[in-house]
């Protein structure tokens, strides 16, 4: 009943006859129409191969031009609700950070408090950083912590300025430690079915890279 109800407005708009066998088609159509024009891949867990490649905290990240964003949203109202998932950007037209605000959290209810943690393969670009700053200024009930694997273009003055603005808007920016990568591995990466969950195997230079970026971030902020 609920589902039918929700679909009605869109049928009348499209002037489609309301036939039962079209229900499935309509659902597909509805889903497609709800999505923004760019293609954002969402899901609960990302393939291990993506994680191992995209989240590596190496300095030279050639080929790593996608952003993978794993999120945990804790909504505190009368009852606390936690949701999690991940986003990746398929096309350069829009980045996962933007997609989060467009699709996962398009509206903030001012009577609720949102504690949000992102685990992102690299820090946001200038445009996304500005969008994050705006969202935090507009929604005082939003707390955002961003854990990043790498710093993106951190030598650029405008990038440094954008990160500083994010900080002053209340965003906590942190570099992912080995434990954070492990947390993502356990909570956001697909485990092979039928096998016991494989332990996270840190890559060789994970600790040095973390320290390197942490120093850079401290200098910037």
Res 48: pLDDT = 73
Instruction: Characterize the bridge pairing of strands 80-89 and 113-122.
Output: unpaired
Strand partners, 119: 70, 147
Cα–Cα distance measured from residue 4 to residue 105, given in angstroms and rounded to the nearest whole number: 24
Mean pLDDT of the region 88-110: 80
Helix, strand, coil abundance in the chain, percent, nearest 5: 45, 20, 35
The residue with greater pLDDT, 185 or 50, is 185
Separation in Å, CA 56 to CA 83, 127, 186: 25, 23, 16
Catalytic-role residue among 4, 24, 74, 97: 97
pLDDT single digits (tens) 124-182: 999 999 999 999 999 999 999 999 999 989 999 999 999 999 999 999 999 999 999 99
Q: Is the pLDDT at 89 greater than 90, yes or no?
A: no
Q: Is the pLDDT at 87 greater than 50, yes or no?
A: yes
Ramachandran quadrant class, 153 (left: phi over 0; alpha: psi -120 to 50; beta: rest): left
The residue with greater pLDDT, 27 or 179, is 179
Structural domain 41-190+201-220, CATH architecture: 3-Layer(aba) Sandwich (3.40)
Mean pLDDT of the chain: 77
Res 32: pLDDT = 40
Which helix (H) or strand (E) element contains residue 113?
strand 113-122
Nearest to 123 by CA among 85, 164, 74: 164
Give catalytic status of residue 97 as yes or no: yes
Res 35: pLDDT = 40
What percentage of the chain reaches a pLDDT higher than 90?
Answer: 41
Contacts of 131 (CB under 8 A, 6+ apart): 97, 98, 101
Contacts of 198 (CB under 8 A, 6+ apart): 191, 192
Q: CA torsion angle for 135, 137, 139, 144 (degrees, to 10)?
A: 70
Q: pTM higher than 0.85, yes or no?
A: no
Domain locations along the chain? 41-190+201-220
Token couple for 98: 């933007």
Token couple for 103: 């699709």
């Amino acid at each position: 009943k609920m589902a039918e109800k929700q679909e009605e407005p869109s049928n009348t708009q499209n002037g489609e006859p309301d036939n039962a066998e079209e229900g499935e088609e309509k659902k597909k159509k509805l889903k497609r129409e709800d999505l923004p024009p760019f293609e954002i891949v969402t899901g609960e867990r990302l393939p291990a191969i993506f994680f191992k490649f995209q989240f590596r905290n190496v300095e030279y990240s050639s080929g790593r031009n996608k952003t993978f964003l794993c999120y945990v949203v804790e909504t505190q109202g009368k009852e606390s609700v936690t949701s999690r998932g991940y986003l990746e950007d398929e096309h350069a037209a829009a980045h996962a950070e933007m997609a989060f605000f467009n699709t996962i959290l398009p509206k903030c209810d001012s009577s609720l408090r949102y504690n949000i943690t992102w685990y992102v393969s690299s820090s946001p670009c200038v445009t996304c950083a500005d969008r994050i700053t705006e969202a935090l200024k507009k929604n005082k009930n939003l707390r955002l912590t961003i854990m990043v694997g790498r710093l993106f273009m951190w030598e650029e003055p405008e990038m440094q300025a954008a990160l500083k603005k994010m900080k002053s808007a209340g965003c906590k920016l942190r570099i992912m430690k080995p434990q954070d990568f492990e947390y993502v591995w356990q909570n956001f990466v697909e485990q092979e079915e039928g096998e016991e969950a494989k332990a996270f195997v840190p890559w060789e230079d994970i600790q040095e890279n973390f320290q390197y970026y942490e120093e850079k971030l401290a200098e910037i902020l």
